[in-house]
Structure 1
Amino acid sequence: MAKPNKKGPVRTVDIFCMKCRTQLFKYRKGGKGALVKCFVERIVEDYTEDQIHCQTCKIEFARKTLIRGTPALKIVGGKVHFK
């Protein structure tokens, strides 16, 4: 399978914790669908300490994984929302 585009999309979205509404990431998202995964190389600004836990309420909102050979975060359903 092909790797994700290095340059990536231009549109950025803000990703927030669903429980406490704290901002987690600023991310370059492609497409119009739901947020299922975040490629680490597309994260513009990271407001978390370890990329998988919210810094305020300490819930786990993602799991680290490899997708098509590239480091990514698989988002746990219902734990985050984006604008």
Structure 2
Amino acid sequence: MAKPNKKLPTRSVDIVCGKCKALLFKYKKGGKGALVKCFKERIVVDYTTSPCTCPSCDIVFAREALVRGTPAYKIIGSKAVLK
């Protein structure tokens, strides 16, 4: 399969915890669909202290995975949402 584009998308979004609304990432999202995965190379600012865990309520909101050969976080349900 093809890798994601090297050129980052122009749209920057905030990703927050679905439970406590704490800020998790500033992310360069491409497209207009739902948040399913976050490529690690597109994360601009990471506010989490440990990977895939909310810093304030300590829920696990994603799993680390390889998507198209690139490291990414796969979001679990609606535990992390766009703002």
TM-score normalised according to structure 2 size: 0.96
Structure 1 residue 59 corresponds to structure 2 residue 59: yes
Instruction: Quote how far apart the aligned CAs of 1:60 are.
Output: 0.2
Letter in 1 for 2:27: Y
Aligned to 2:37: 37
Off by >4 Å, runs of 4+ in structure 1: none
Corresponding residue pairs, total: 83
User: Which residues of structure 1 form unaligned runs of 5+?
Assistant: none
Structure 1 residue 73 corresponds to structure 2 residue 79: no
User: Which residues of structure 2 form unaligned runs of 5+?
Assistant: none
RMSD: 0.7
Instruction: Quote how far apart the aligned CAs of 1:81 are.
Output: 1.2
1:9-62 deviations in Å (ceiling 9; x for gaps): 110000000111100000000001000000000000000012300010000000
TM-score normalised according to structure 1 size: 0.96
Aligned to 1:16: 16
Aligned to 1:2: 2
Q: What is the identity percentage for the equivalent residue pairs of Structure 1 and Structure 2?
A: 65
